[in-house]
Amino acid sequence: MVRSNKAPAQKRNLAACDQCHALKLKCVFLTHECARCKRLRIRCTSQRAKHKRGRKPKAEQTLSPDAGLGSPSSPESSYYPVLDCLSSFGVCWKQDQSSSVDQICSPFEASRLLEHFFTSPNQEFHARILRRRNVLDLKLPRATSPALLLSILCVACYMPTADNSPVLLEVSSGKLITARRTFLSQTLKLLQPVLVGEIDPTFDDAITFFMLSSIGASENDTHLRLPHWLSFMKYSLRKLSLYAEVEGLDEEEKEERRRLWWSGYTIDRHVALSFNLRPQTTDLECQTLQRPCPGDIWESDIFLEEYYQDAGNFPSKGITYSIQTLDLFGVLLPLSSITGDILEYHFLRQHATFGSHRPFMTDIRNNIEQNLRLWDRTLQDLLARTPYLANYGAANPNSTASSKVVLYGRHIWHCLHVLLFGRMDFVEMYRDLSWQASTDFVQAGEHAISCAKLAGSILTIDPHLQFIYRYFGTYLLQSSFIFLILAQKLGQAADNLILENCTINLRVLDTFVQVVNVEYQRTFARVLRQTLSKRFDENAGENEDLDPALLQYRWVAGYNGLWNEDMALKPVSDQQFRANGS
């Protein structure tokens, strides 16, 4: 056997530690503990008995097969204690349980899914509400409801891996689909008393509704229920008064409440943009609520009480248009506030009284532009003080979460200019010749070019668009409308700049279709591909006809944006909530 003279980059243990051995994982030795135990912040031990190789003595072979059931070497015996409450639901089943319980997954599989929820490259708001170290604690885990745990496991089944490999290598795709459907049905069954109004929602129920809204944005078969889950989520947030600080809770419980409310605030703006609605969560409600603590603090072992007691760590309250931290909340919360302002601006433009008052509307738009400049200025200031993010858009497979957040945030910032200077509705943009001849069109086009360039850069550091794909999709579409219009109108006369940007957007859309199974993304990708193919058709000229498939996605009165079903998203009152059921 030929051995390499090069020293290995990492030293693998000759004997795996207890945790890695139980889960049958590669154990990489560091200084005093293995890499996996260090990452999960658990004690790394090697206390199991070492057995000789070969056939066991006959005396040992006569032992009962159940004798080793609880030993650490059994994969089913090594799982996170927070999952104990799920054994009666067919999750983390034990061998001594009744056969009448449907076995959804083993403790090993459930533990892997729970780890994957916190470590997946898809780290949107649903993965930023709970503190990983509290949920995965091996001695005193967070007291978590079965419904919330089941919804987390269901979301984890949808979350991609870094290399797009299956979440559980040992489990077939068919079994994984069956498991996530069972997780979802069990979650809804547990939520039934809340859905029909028999009991009020708890805090964990509110998080569960947020998880369900993340599932609904993942593919078509759950997309149909998305309006109900979003409505129930918003109702729960207000019912629990999450918009206000409360006494009698420790800092981590308070932080969970803040993170859930601000996540709901952000998703409310995103849903309003996606489905042609007015924001339902007002800025006034958030005036006294602290904004989330920095992401690196939340993901560390630092106690929040100690963090806020340190000099200079003053809690910030209410909405802001400036960036204070380079994490998901710090970058996207201000953009969400600006998104809400732009949506209100467009609805006021259609108002019979306010829309005709030109100075009033001009002042509103100038104020929004000022807030956009403030966001950009504070971003540049933070980047100047953060040298390792100087080249945040450069191709680097090991890009940090901060660099990804900044790059996605820059794309959304340019897209907000497209929304501000544009018409939002694709058909209106296509037919409004006066707008196409105005300076607003030029400004919207310049920012659309920047969006296309940034979309190409995003593919270099996030090749599978895994980071925040549920949140990014609507902005990607809105930023690509202008080039689709120009390519469709000009045909062969379209210049290389238009074609280049259309090609970039098509490449991103194709990648998006691979990561999320939603119909409207496939529709836009198909229309854009057909438009580009006509560019090289010698008989093709200016095309005056819009593809009928695009006419179902409108941002005008009577339409619901990307939601093309008969049912629109509407606010749910207390009485309506209790009457709806499931």
Is residue 580 pLDDT above 50, yes or no? no
- With bands split at pLDDT 50, 70 and 90, how would you rate the model's confidence at 74? very low
Return d(Cα 252, Cα 256) in angstroms, integer: 6
Q: Which of 39-48, 270-279, 367-376, 465-474 has the lowest mean pLDDT?
A: 39-48
Handedness of CA 394, 398, 400, 406 (dihedral sign): positive
Q: Which two tokens stand for residue 363?
A: 């002042």
- With bands split at pLDDT 50, 70 and 90, how would you rate the model's confidence at 333? very high
DSSP 8-class letter at 150: H
Output the pLDDT for position 12: 47
Query: For the residues 39-68, what does the mean pLDDT come to?
Result: 48
Q: Which two tokens stand for residue 118?
A: 């916190």
What value does the CA radius of gyration of the chain take, rounded to a whole number of Å?
26
Return d(Cα 223, Cα 290) in angstroms, integer: 32
In the chain, % of residues over pLDDT 90: 48
CA angle 430, 432, 436 (to 5 degrees): 85
Q: Among candidates 377, 465, 481, which has minimal Cα distance to 424?
A: 481
Is residue 272 pLDDT above 70, yes or no? yes
Q: Which two tokens stand for residue 317?
A: 């309250």
The full set of domains in the chain, from first to last, is 8-47 (4.10.240), 386-560 (no CATH)
Per the CB < 8 A criterion, the answer to whether 3 and 14 are in contact is no
Q: Which of 187-201, 242-256, 492-506 has the lowest mean pLDDT?
A: 492-506
More confident residue, 310 or 234: 234
